[in-house]
Amino acid sequence: MNEIEKLYENANVKPYIYCSKPRLDCNARETGNCKQDCEYYSGKRLLTPFTAEKQIELIKLLAIRFSSDYMSYWRNEIKDVWIFRLHDLTKFSSKEPCIYEGRNKDFTEALCNLINDLWQDLTEEEKEQIRSVLNG
C-alpha cells in the first residue's frame, strides 16, 4: 500500500465502483457507484483522484493547523527525495526541532507520508476536513 492509499484508509474514504460508460439509468453519475446490473459494470473499485487541487488544499490545512510552527518542504537532489517537515518553533534551537517528517521520491507520496505520520495527533474536526478534501 502506498502513502496515498494509506491516507485514504486513515481518513476512511471509501472507493467507488467504476462504471466504464455511465448510462442515464446507472446511478454512477449521482452516487459514484455503478449498479451491478449495468452493462458497463466493472466491479473495479477506485479512489477519487489525488489531484493537485487536493494537494494544495491539504497543504493549506496543514499551514493553518501548524500556524505557530514552521512547515518546510524541498527536494533533496542528492538523495532524490522530497521532504516535508513540521518544526516546533519553541524547540527550534534544540537538537530535534522536527516534530513530523514525510519523505519520498514522489512529492504527493511525501505529503501523504507527513499527514499519515501526524494523523493520530489531529483532532476529529481536522480529520473531517481532510476527509472532505479527499472526497471532493
Q: Higher-confidence residue: 68 or 32?
A: 32
Query: Contact, 50 vs 4, CB < 8 A?
Result: yes
Name the segment(s) of the chain with CATH classification 3.30.160. Answer: 52-135
Query: Contact, 69 vs 92, CB < 8 A?
Result: no
Q: In this model, does residue 89 exceed pLDDT 70?
A: no
Which of 97, 80, 96, 84 shows the shortest CA–CA distance to 7? 84
Candidates 3.40.50, 3.40.190, 3.30.160, 3.10.20; CATH matching 52-135: 3.30.160
Record the pTM. 0.77
pLDDT at 30: 63
Lowest-confidence segment of 24-28, 54-58, 105-109, 120-124 by average pLDDT: 24-28
